[in-house]
A = this chain, B = another copy of it.
């Protein structure tokens, strides 16, 4: 393989998370959809911020979290996403760059503020996300630099990108450039309600050969095929001819290709604090392994290692070197 400038390039919504602990009552009282990501407007965002408890503010965004994870595994990573030139956007840019990630998407000067996700964590560790997309709506296909896309081995796209209408075009442009350059294109289905909004488009992308790798949790995969039976959904994804990595929470993950199936256990943890970013960091480990030529089982193990780190503290950005954790678990990259 020729040496590429980046191992993985992610495109996603650039979001700062505002996290708070709440009781389950709070979710009921505010009619929130537990475990899901719901899009909200700025007024609703302010109302939730005021009603909830003390805040912890940490950069987030699904693909951005994954890309930071890839960098923490020691790989070369780049991110495309849109923030506004405001304090929150400055913080997002600082945080991703300080992890060694290349990030030079032009800031929005006018228009809505940098995106915030109000994340409510219940005592069971489950997170309920309420996202104000703000400046993410200003990501356009102009932000997708062909040369940058061609300079990365794997392009990673989040399903959430289909929510801001212009970003979807950026997504499609990036996938096309990448494929023409013989790069691998990966998609995370993001959220079962997101799948529900864009099922036909996601299936279409797979079936047109635009996607090589799919990440999903069991709920998203079942939503994709509109079935309540996981085995049915697994049989269906196997037929698509893509590489699929399906996470099963504490049951670990299953890696599926047309020819192979591997079940890989989760890493035991001391205390579940906050599930935010579990899927994002699983993808980080898996993609890092793939980019470095690891076998599929080791890719899934790297995913499990990263997910176990992230769910033991608040926020979806690693607090320890993932490369060190991989090494401690006997894996090299």
Q: Is residue A55 contacting chain B, with contact meaning CB distance below 8 A?
A: yes
Residues of B within 8 A of A96 (CB): 54
Tell me which residues across on chain B come within 8 A of A313, comparing CB atoms: 313-314
How far apart are the CA atoms of A53 and B96 in the complex, in Å? 9
Q: Which residue of B lies closest to A123 (CB)?
A: B320
CA distance A240 to B54 in the complex (A): 39
The size bracket of the interface on A is 20 to 34
Extra contacts besides A53-B99, A56-B58, A313-B314 (14): CB < 8 Å:
A21-B319, A49-B94, A52-B98, A53-B95, A54-B59, A54-B68, A54-B94, A54-B95, A55-B58, A55-B94, A56-B56, A56-B315, A314-B314, A314-B319
Cα-based distance from A317 to B68 in the complex (angstroms): 26
- Residue-by-residue, is A20-57 near B (CB-CB < 8 Å gives 1, otherwise 0)? 01000000000000000000000000000110111111
Q: Which B-chain residue is minimally distant from A274 (CB atoms)?
A: B319
Main secondary structure of the interface of A (DSSP, over half): mixed
* Complex CA distance for A54 and B98, rounded to whole angstroms: 6
Docked pose: A94 CA to B313 CA in angstroms: 22
A303 to B85, CA, bound (A): 44
- Given A21-B319, A319-B21, also A57-B57 (CB < 8 A): yes
Write out the residue numbers on chain B whose beta carbons fall within 8 Å of the beta carbon of A98: 52-54
A58, B58: Cα distance in complex, Å: 9
- Does A87 make an interface contact (CB < 8 A)? yes
A324 CB to nearest B CB, Å:
11
User: What's the Cα separation between A319 and B22 when bound, in Å?
Assistant: 11
Q: In whole Å, how far is A319's beta carbon from the nearest beta carbon of chain B?
A: 7
Which of A94, A270, A315: most chain B CB closer than 10 A? A94
Interface membership of chain A positions 291-320, coded 1 if the CB is closer than 8 angstroms to chain B and 0 otherwise: 000000000000000000000011101010
